[in-house]
Structure 1
Amino acid sequence: MKIVLIGLASVFTEGMTYQDNLLANQLRYDGHEITIISECYKYQDGVIVKTHEEDKVLPNGIHLVRIKYRNILGDFISGKIRAVKGLYNILEQECPDIIFHHGLQSYELLTIVKYKKKHTDIKIFLDSHEDFNNSATNFLSKYILHKMYYKYIIRRVLPYIDKVFCVAYESFDFLRQLYGVPDNLMEFYPLGGIILDESIREEKRIKIRKKLMLKNANILMVHSGKMDKLKRTDEIIKAFMQVKSDKFRLLLIGTMQDDVKKDIFPLIESDNRIKFLGWKNGDELLNYLCACDLYVQPGTQSATMQNALCCGSAAALYPYSSHKYLLKDSVFYIETINDMMNLFDDISRNPEILEKKQIQSNKLAHEILDYRVLASRLFK
């Protein structure tokens, strides 16, 4: 089957462990012909940079096409309109059976529907990563961009859409309230991860823990991403420092934003159990997640959490509705800095509670988060 995945605000970057990469890789592994169509932006050392148009085949056989935004009043406005040149012609050349468009906020949804009107047998899936925590957060964004421009496009294309996938539980309300997407068209479709063979996972775990000079009794915590105030990295460190267990180690992996550097680096330097590793590519991050015992994410949501669970780690997360809906009691929930401190203290006194959560979350990962399971849902 031929599947075209379109992400015009996804910042597709080769080698990452985001949904764009992992879903495409799994579909390709399952034997389908895959084309990714992306805008001309990517991550470089954790920073979004503009890149050039290209048309190439990746090492795993996936066809990657990058196309530029149409220039509409400069880069900022172009990046909100999300109109590109030549998408219809590319679709005609690819002849897809399924089109999966990441996001509902794009002018090019009109182009995709134009293609479906001519090729009525194809299926169109959209997914939404948006909620009121990360989108429509000010007046202009909510009432001009979302409730006028995007809503106008979405209402025109909905009759031709087969399914709208919501990657977070909060996305359902966002789509209902801002665009009027009907409930019968929406389906929960969480971000997932890759579950490695146990022998491979264990090999990666042993290698990284040896590199970090950890003993079997050491408990390794990992926190990752673009670390800013909303990530609450400083609170994690402060809570961690209050629990003096020599068994604990904390790794910070990602980029440190300017608004938190001056506060966080002195804390790191004051506790030799804490290390900041900087930016790591997808494969490197996966290795550290395999070595991790507890993934800590009390701030903004990140797809790395699902990858951590798929690598066998337990997780401590903010109790977002989407987390509680998806993960139920298979993870720890931490809302305040005291919650973090109490959890770390409980684990130091009774490591068995950590092992119990690892077993629960690993079971859930196999059943729900494995991209082999998620990819198969496109054909049901």
Structure 2
Amino acid sequence: MRILHLCLSCFYIDGYNYQENILPRINHEDGHDVRILASTETYVDNLHLGYVEPREYVTEYGVPIKRLPYVKVGTHFSTIKFRKYPHVYEEIAAFAPDVILSHDLGYWSLLDVIRYKQDHPEVKLYSDTHADYYTSGTNWLSLHVLHRIFYRHLVQKALPYLEKYLCISDECRRFNIENYGVPESLTEFYPLGGMIPSPEEYDMARQRRREELGLVPDELLLVHAGKLEPAKKTDSLLRAFAAVPELKAKLAVIGSIPVETQSQLRAQMDSDSRVIYLGWKNSDDLMEYLCAADLYCQPGKVSAIMQNAVCAGCPILLYPHSGYVKDYDYGNMLWVRDETEITAVLQEIACGKVDLPALQRNSQRCARELLDYRTLAARLYR
């Protein structure tokens, strides 16, 4: 089967564990012929979104990718929001896919994709969507002009040609129904997932990383990871951890720190000998640290690292975003809204009042039943 992934409405970031990285990888490993067409938007220095030159190369997993230039439409801002690319129809035709998965639909060249589907009705066209009220349409102009007029127009054009409209959360489903007019009958829950390590991979990674960090057998490892911007609430987690010195644990902080908060966060980390700052790690290394962890801590904004942590069998300390509560609670979550609640949970863990092994088993069940990317990828083959 020939499967084409379109990352033209969003960024594509090499070396990450995002959905648009892992699904093509698994499609390829399953023996299919896979290609990616992507924009030039990506992370620069693992800190902020920026743009690279158009080029063709092969991903670290052996999937050919082509980054297409934007067609200039007025200013740079309007160009990157309009998202028109040259010769998209011809690029698709040259590959002749059996399945197309468009990662979101907010790009003008979607009209070329629709035209190709019209000319080749046997091709299966899917779209996923990540748009929700938390991350999209966060100001009046974006919501009422960009989403409710421009993107709605494109989505409405595509709806008659879609097999399924794949929503990564219930919040996404609601946003798309209310703002784009997507019929609920076309939507399907398609969560962000993760790779589940084999028992042998898990044991080897856990032993290796715990030895590296100098953990003794009865010492817990807490992990906090991601782009450590203020919305991640890294500072609140560090203060709460420092407030519970009786907790026999190390806290490994993994990720890149924005320049404006670097001095503050590094000072907080340096003041507690139990905190280890590991810097940015690639997706494979991060997964090994998650295997070594006894608790993954995400008290702030949403992040796909949460799903990876569940797939590594971690209990999760998590802010109760409504989509998380509805979609992912298998009895493996410790819900915290603020620093006071983080501190209280850590105190309960220190006192032995939290059954971490039970939470771990529930995370393993959630991973098997909901988040395995191999199962999610196979839904494109039916």
Report TM bin, short chain. Answer: over 0.9
- Counterpart for residue 80 of structure 1: 81
Name the CA distance, whole Å, in 2 between partners of 1:46 and 1:59: 17
Map residues 209-288 of structure 1 onto 2, 5 A cutoff: 209-245=210-246, 247-288=248-289
Map residues 343-354 of structure 1 onto 2, 5 A cutoff: 343-350=345-352, 353-354=355-356
Name the CA distance, whole Å, in 2 between partners of 1:351 and 1:93: 60
Using the TM superposition, name which of 273-282 and 182-191 deviates more.
273-282
Name the CA distance, whole Å, in 2 between partners of 1:320 and 1:245: 29
Deviation at residue 97 of structure 1 after TM alignment = 0.8
Deviation at residue 10 of structure 1 after TM alignment = 3.5
- Counterpart for residue 58 of structure 2: 57
CA contact (8 A) 1:295 1:313 kept: yes
What SS does the corresponding residue of 2:152 show, helix, strand or coil? helix
Using the TM superposition, name which of 203-212 and 240-249 deviates more.
240-249
Deviation at residue 240 of structure 1 after TM alignment = 0.8
**CA 1:104–1:213 in 2, change beyond 3 Å: closer, same or farther?**
same
TM-score normalised by length of structure 1? 0.96
Name the CA distance, whole Å, in 1 between partners of 2:278 and 2:80: 32
- Counterpart for residue 36 of structure 2: 36
Name the CA distance, whole Å, in 1 between partners of 2:50 and 2:65: 18
CA contact (8 A) 1:309 1:362 kept: yes
CA contact (8 A) 1:10 1:20 kept: no
Using the TM superposition, name which of 83-92 and 60-69 deviates more.
60-69
Name the CA distance, whole Å, in 2 between partners of 1:267 and 1:352: 26
Using the TM superposition, name which of 323-332 and 132-141 deviates more.
323-332
**CA 1:157–1:319 in 2, change beyond 3 Å: closer, same or farther?**
same
Map residues 332-347 of structure 1 onto 2, 5 A cutoff: 332-347=334-349
CA contact (8 A) 2:247 2:349 kept: no
CA contact (8 A) 1:367 1:373 kept: no
What SS does the corresponding residue of 2:284 show, helix, strand or coil? helix
What SS does the corresponding residue of 2:127 show, helix, strand or coil? strand
Equivalent pairs, count: 380
- Counterpart for residue 19 of structure 2: 19
Name structure 1 gaps, 5 residues minimum.
none
**CA 1:45–1:207 in 2, change beyond 3 Å: closer, same or farther?**
farther
CA contact (8 A) 1:228 1:259 kept: no
What SS does the corresponding residue of 1:13 show, helix, strand or coil? coil
CA contact (8 A) 2:197 2:312 kept: yes
- Counterpart for residue 207 of structure 1: 208
Name the CA distance, whole Å, in 2 between partners of 1:375 and 1:280: 25
Name the CA distance, whole Å, in 1 between partners of 2:58 and 2:106: 27
Deviation at residue 139 of structure 1 after TM alignment = 1.3
Q: Could you list the per-position Cα deviations for residues 267-325 of structure 1 after superposition, in whole angstroms to 9, with x for gaps in the alignment?
A: 11211111222211112211211111111111110001111111121111111121112
Map residues 100-115 of structure 1 onto 2, 5 A cutoff: 100-115=101-116
Considering only aligned residues, what root-mean-square deviation do their CA atoms show, in Å?
Answer: 1.5
CA contact (8 A) 1:229 1:259 kept: no
**CA 1:231–1:352 in 2, change beyond 3 Å: closer, same or farther?**
closer
Name the CA distance, whole Å, in 2 between partners of 1:9 and 1:290: 33
Name the CA distance, whole Å, in 1 between partners of 2:111 and 2:261: 41
Map residues 257-336 of structure 1 onto 2, 5 A cutoff: 257-328=258-329, 329-336=331-338
- Counterpart for residue 368 of structure 1: 370
Amino acid at match of 2:221: L
CA contact (8 A) 2:15 2:60 kept: no
Deviation at residue 263 of structure 1 after TM alignment = 3.2
Deviation at residue 252 of structure 1 after TM alignment = 1.4
Deviation at residue 43 of structure 1 after TM alignment = 2.5
- Counterpart for residue 168 of structure 1: 169
Amino acid at match of 2:325: K
Deviation at residue 137 of structure 1 after TM alignment = 0.8
Deviation at residue 259 of structure 1 after TM alignment = 4.3
**CA 1:219–1:46 in 2, change beyond 3 Å: closer, same or farther?**
same
CA contact (8 A) 1:35 1:63 kept: yes
Name the CA distance, whole Å, in 1 between partners of 2:37 and 2:25: 14
Q: Could you list the per-position Cα deviations for residues 85-137 of structure 1 after superposition, in whole angstroms to 9, with x for gaps in the alignment?
A: 11110110111111101112111221111000000011111111111111101
Deviation at residue 349 of structure 1 after TM alignment = 1.5
Name structure 2 gaps, 5 residues minimum.
none
Name the CA distance, whole Å, in 1 between partners of 2:165 and 2:285: 32
Deviation at residue 21 of structure 1 after TM alignment = 1.1
Deviation at residue 187 of structure 1 after TM alignment = 0.9
Name the CA distance, whole Å, in 1 between partners of 2:75 and 2:199: 49
Deviation at residue 169 of structure 1 after TM alignment = 1.6
Amino acid at match of 2:332: S
Name the CA distance, whole Å, in 1 between partners of 2:227 and 2:57: 29
Deviation at residue 358 of structure 1 after TM alignment = 0.6
**CA 1:371–1:351 in 2, change beyond 3 Å: closer, same or farther?**
farther
**CA 1:351–1:204 in 2, change beyond 3 Å: closer, same or farther?**
farther
Deviation at residue 75 of structure 1 after TM alignment = 2.8
Amino acid at match of 1:372: R
Name the CA distance, whole Å, in 1 between partners of 2:102 and 2:166: 10
Q: Could you list the per-position Cα deviations for residues 115-162 of structure 1 after superposition, in whole angstroms to 9, with x for gaps in the alignment?
A: 000000111111111111111011111111111111111112211111
What SS does the corresponding residue of 2:6 show, helix, strand or coil? strand
Map residues 70-219 of structure 1 onto 2, 5 A cutoff: 70-219=71-220
CA contact (8 A) 1:34 1:63 kept: yes
